[in-house]
Amino acid sequence: MRRRTAILISGRGSNMDALIAAASTPEFPAEIALVASNRPEAAGLARAKSLGIAVAAVDHKIYAGREEFERSLQIVLAAHRIELLCLAGFMRLLTPWFVEQWRGRMLNIHPALLPSYRGLHTHRRALADGVKIHGCTVHFVVPEMDEGPIVAQAAVPVLDRDTEETLAARVLEQEHLIYPRALRLVAAGALRVEGNRVLGAASGAAAALAVPACD
Ligand code: GRF
């Protein structure tokens, strides 16, 4: 059985697109059963709809607080019998209450090599620090922001001519590769979590989850 997966977005949804494309082949172990956004106007929502995927807008602005918003979201996810969640440019902090419902079943993609550069403006900060290697991370979501067991990472070189935009684009290309790979392994039950470490349930699986920098 393919795992019923929802993607949560707030904006353009290019990672969403990559996940949808990967899941469009019948042997992929997850099916994208829903795309939900806290912003009704998110470009990715219209795009998902045009691809024939069920969509839901749960506008956070109409709720009194985070947990009220999340309770509505939770009802929508239950109605669609969602088993796995992928955060893809979802720009809301989640409460421990929500995160606990999805522990071990919710992934996020972050545009940096965690645990470096948690939070926003990662590319700008990486350039300002002069690091030579940057990248992206897919991790299980825990209550602390941008923490949680790391499922997959990809590294890219930082080049002399880089601007925030060119570096972001190089990282984004890798995001689109590692997120579907990570979801495939999680949905297939090919991974186990030991403390902070995500390991292959069978030998070999984890090796697919580190992508070295190349020029
Ligand atoms: C990506 O860089 C992702 O890593 C970050 O937000 C951005 C979302 O882009 N969390 P998109 O909406 O997937 O195009």
pLDDT tens by residue, the chain, 215 residues: 999 999 999 999 999 999 999 999 999 999 999 999 999 999 999 999 999 999 999 999 999 999 999 999 999 999 999 999 999 999 999 999 999 999 999 999 999 999 999 999 999 999 999 999 999 999 999 999 999 999 999 999 999 999 999 999 999 999 999 999 999 999 999 999 999 999 998 766 665 677 776 55
CA dist 38 and 92 (Å) reads: 8
pLDDT of amino acid 206: 61
CB of 38 within 6 A of ligand 1: the answer is no
Residue corresponding to tokens 């590692």: 178
CA dist 181 and 177 (Å) reads: 7
Instruction: Please check whether the two domains, 1-102 and 109-215, share a CATH topology.
Output: yes
CB of 7 within 6 A of ligand 1: the answer is no
Can you give the residue ranges of every domain in the chain? 1-102, 109-215
Q: Is 108 known to sit in a ligand binding site?
A: yes
- Residue 112's alpha-carbon distances to 57, 99, 187, in angstroms, are 28, 21, 23
Residue 110 annotated in active site: yes
- Alpha carbon 33 to its chain centroid, in Å, reads 16
E-strand ranges in the chain read 3-9, 30-37, 55-57, 84-87, 106-110, 133-140, 150-157, 191-194, 197-200, 210-211
Characterize 168-179 residue by residue with b for buried, 16 or more Cβ atoms within 10 angstroms of its Cβ, and e for exposed: bebbbebbbebb
Distance 62 CA to ligand 1 centre (A): 24
pLDDT of amino acid 213: 66
Which of the listed CATH numbers 3.40.190.10, 3.40.1080.10, 3.40.50.170, 3.10.580.10 matches domain 1-102?
A: 3.40.50.170
* Tokens linked to 67: 């947990």
pLDDT of amino acid 211: 75
Please give the number of the atom of ligand 1 that sits closest to the Cα of 13.
12
Smallest Cα–Cα separation from 155: which of 208, 211, 201? 211
CB of 15 within 6 A of ligand 1: the answer is yes
Q: Which of 60, 110, 134, 139 is catalytic?
A: 110
pLDDT of amino acid 152: 97
Q: Is 13 known to sit in a ligand binding site?
A: yes
Helix (H, G, I), strand (E, B) or coil at 48: helix
pLDDT of amino acid 209: 72
- Residue range 109-215 forms a domain whose CATH class is alpha beta
Distance 153 CA to ligand 1 centre (A): 15
Q: Is 91 known to sit in a ligand binding site?
A: yes
Nearest residue CA, atom 9 of ligand 1?
89
Smallest Cα–Cα separation from 213: which of 172, 160, 174? 174
Q: What is the dihedral of CA 128, 129, 135, 141, to 10 degrees?
A: -100
